[in-house]
Amino acid sequence: MADTGIFATTAEVQRKAGANASATANVEAYINDFMTQAESVINVQSGYNFSDAYSGLNADVKGILKLAASNLAAMYVIQFDMGSFNSRIEAETMLDVLRDGFVKAMEQLREVVKRDFIINA
């Protein structure tokens, strides 16, 4: 099986999910599913279909998309089985850090969409 995500790879998600992530969910098949969901969330929340426009985006925007998508998909991996971590606090701390990064990235992506709308109006 190969990566099917557009914004981030399985390896990028696995690094963020951490060494103690569930052996069931931290595999390519699950992560491909989580990436599809993450990309859809990003497109809907930003109000722009970055998936369709991806090839024409600059490297900075692609980097923010990678950050947002890999963070959200890693959160899905972690929440699949939080019992695989040394403690619930470890898993919750990782989720908090990933969520903060996702929220900040989404704010930046919404600004990109607004700026482009104004410039192209």
The answer to whether the CB of 42 falls within 8 A of the CB of 112 is: no
Give pLDDT, residue 116.
77
pLDDT in tens, 57-98: 999 999 999 999 999 999 999 999 999 999 999 999 999 999
The reported pTM is: 0.93
Which segments of the chain does DSSP mark as H helices, in order? 10-17, 28-46, 50-53, 59-80, 88-119
How does residue 115 score in pLDDT terms, banded at 50, 70 and 90?
A: confident
Give pLDDT, residue 117.
67
Would you list the domain boundaries of the chain? 10-119
The three-state secondary structure class of 4 is coil
Task: State which amino acid sits at residue 51.
Answer: S
pLDDT in tens, 20-45: 999 999 999 999 999 999 999 999 99
